[in-house]
Structure 1
Amino acid sequence: MIRSDPPDLKSLQTLAVVAELGSLTSASTALGVTQQAVSSRIRALEVRTGSPLVTRSARGSQLTEAGLLVAGWAKDVLDAAERFEVAVAALRDKSHSQLRVGASLTIAEHLMPEWLIAFQTGSGNPAAVDLVVANSRAVIEQLRAGARDIGFIETPDVPSDLESRVIAFDELVVVVGVNHPWARRRRALSAAELASTALVVREEGSGTRRTLELALDTLEPKIVLAAPASILPTTTAIRSTVASGRAPAVLSSLAIRDDFTLGRLARVRVAGLTLKRPLTAVWVRNSTGLPENAERLLSIALTHAR
């Protein structure tokens, strides 16, 4: 069961600094707080975890085995918080934008934060980023309208009037709640069984939905998707609906890694159906090419994909 109160980021940061510097005194200096505040944050974490995390001695402070484990988890949370802050700053900073970026939902949620961190820290004069998140079709239309400098889309339908570069490939998987009958089946689904089942899907224009439609369309004979069980605007909403056991869905493998690890969703094999799509950078074709900052973000995306 998920706790209603999220972990305190300052306490997690304090534990990480104590682990790095080896003393509460050094941690208090580095964080700019009193040693009493450092001790209080560590105690709060110890109460939350039910385990001693730090042992204190004349030689300094050392993490216990439990402390080392929690510090490792804390790093993941702190890294995610940093990615969140960078991404939110890109959404918020509209007034002096030097780079206008459009990104479809899966890329924006699972890849773009890391790219933006590299973009902002990799230059002596970081540019402000104006990030708009929309489905692939909307990103393409914004580029054509001149509202974006570069876009990142997930649809296989890459328009020929735009310049494009494939960044990576993304696998889509069929997922169900752990109590759904499909979660216990040993035999792979057929493409026909999947197509005849009412799924939870994104709206038209979504790259995920279009990839599934095209994959079924290439089969012989062609298979048409049944009417959806629900049409939802975000991957998060789809994941929650699927986890409740109401209906299956097809989602990006990027979006459901934690759900598998935590046992919220189960993956279902499908025979004879390839669900793989390109993740593509797109921009308007012109004589001057990409703006310098857009070129730099594209390079970062390509590097991280490799």
Structure 2
Amino acid sequence: MSRERDGGAGAERGTATGGGAGGRRTAAAALAAAGGGAGTGAGPGPGAWEPATAHLSHRVPDLGALELLLAVARHGSLGAAAREVGITQPAASSRIRSMERQLGVALVDRSPRGSRLTDAGALVTDWARRIVESAEAFDAGVQALRGRRDSRLRVVASMTIAEYLLPGWLIALRAERPDTAVSLQAGNSAVVAERLLAGEADLGFVEGLAVPDGLDGTVVAHDRLVVVTAPSHPWARRRTPIDPAELAATPLVLRERGSGTRQVLDAALAGHGGLARPLLELASTTAVKAAAVTGAGPAVLSELAIAEELSGRRLVAVPVAGVRLSRDLRAVWPTGHRPTGPARDLLALTRARPGG
């Protein structure tokens, strides 16, 4: 079943080399990624991958410690090495001692004239250099992959959101991510779910009663459906609200089945005899609105879509009593795959600018 979640949390960011005390990745993991052995330069033999990683991970220093050792070799000074990696000299001295205990060999001779690598330290430094270089290559490759992913954003949205809310959100996103190419597909809520589940979109927006199966989502805005007619229709001159039974029995100009608007209207009138056969059934909000303006018949539309027509008296809102025609607008994504990169940023913008 689908679940509704908060999609705005930021993802953790980090670098492969993790300088200073903040480095958490092990050198063994970096070496395994590079496919080499620390001592001989040979790659792991058949079946050796998992045992090598398991045996090395508990006794090989992390990348931050190896970077510190390389800095000591470059500067010949523990204080200068500490400044390069951004930690205090006592912290650097403690880290070197910890690394010596971990490896079981002395790495640095300390004297008033500076710090000098021991013979074992020089050998360990040579191995460390290869590991750190491999980790930097790994980090550069991952950043390239992330950059390629972040250079595009595929959005799919139901009609009302696509036409009346997303343009404002996407303009704001472009100001933050000018290099991200955005493609927008519009369809009803059923189409949004299909494209997300098929991997054809990164983020979706729907207008229905609930999050579709297979998706997670979060509410980003609220909307209300309004019954409207042309000024010439008899309902435009009514002094009392339409009751639900009369609305249900009247042929209306409607969106197609599968649209969020139709889902909300079907559910609201299900206890009042259900909707009559539609006068017209159209596949876009714009088409429904145009039909209503020309006097084809009463229609039910999002109030987001009709503000201009109501202010210009091309359409008249007809009050309805005894039925709830409000709905939540949601951002959705495949279950278990929280939005990342540009999709996460767009989701954050919908909260900052809920009205578009």
Q: Which has the larger radius of gyration?
A: 2
Which one-letter code corresponds to 2:174 in the other structure? Q
Give the conservation status (yes or no) of the 8 Å contact 1:97–1:130.
no
Aligned to 2:277: 227
CA-based RMSD: 1.5
Shift of 1:223: 2.5
Give the conservation status (yes or no) of the 8 Å contact 1:155–1:278.
yes
- For residues 329 and 240 of structure 2, what CA distance do their matches in structure 1 show? 30
- For residues 190 and 97 of structure 1, what CA distance do their matches in structure 2 show? 51
- For residues 167 and 324 of structure 2, what CA distance do their matches in structure 1 show? 28
1:176 and 2:229 equivalent? Answer: yes
Q: Unaligned stretches of 5+ in structure 2? A: 1-149
Shift of 1:126: 3.1
Q: Scaled by the length of structure 2, what TM-score is found?
A: 0.56
Give the conservation status (yes or no) of the 8 Å contact 2:151–2:179.
no
User: Deviation digits for residues 32-89 of structure 1, max 9, x if unmatched?
Assistant: xxxxxxxxxxxxxxxxxxxxxxxxxxxxxxxxxxxxxxxxxxxxxxxxxxxxxxxxxx
Map 1:65-84 → 2, pairs under 5 A: none
1:283 and 2:321 equivalent? Answer: no
- For residues 233 and 200 of structure 2, what CA distance do their matches in structure 1 show? 43
1:249 and 2:299 equivalent? Answer: yes
- For residues 157 and 147 of structure 1, what CA distance do their matches in structure 2 show? 21
1:98 and 2:152 equivalent? Answer: yes
Kindly report structure 1 stretches of 4+ aligned residues shifted beyond 2 Å.
none
User: Deviation digits for residues 104-143 of structure 1, max 9, x if unmatched?
Assistant: 11001101010000000023x5311111111111001101
Map 1:35-50 → 2, pairs under 5 A: none
Aligned equivalent of 1:113, options 148, 167, 173: 167
- For residues 228 and 160 of structure 1, what CA distance do their matches in structure 2 show? 27
Number of residue pairs the alignment of both structures matches = 206
Map 1:27-66 → 2, pairs under 5 A: none
Which one-letter code corresponds to 2:348 in the other structure? S
1:299 and 2:348 equivalent? Answer: yes
Which one-letter code corresponds to 2:266 in the other structure? E
Shift of 1:97: 6.1
Aligned to 1:37: none
Aligned to 1:236: 286
Aligned to 1:204: 257
Aligned to 1:137: 190
Q: Scaled by the length of structure 1, what TM-score is found?
A: 0.65
Q: Unaligned stretches of 5+ in structure 1? A: 1-95
Shift of 1:303: 1.1
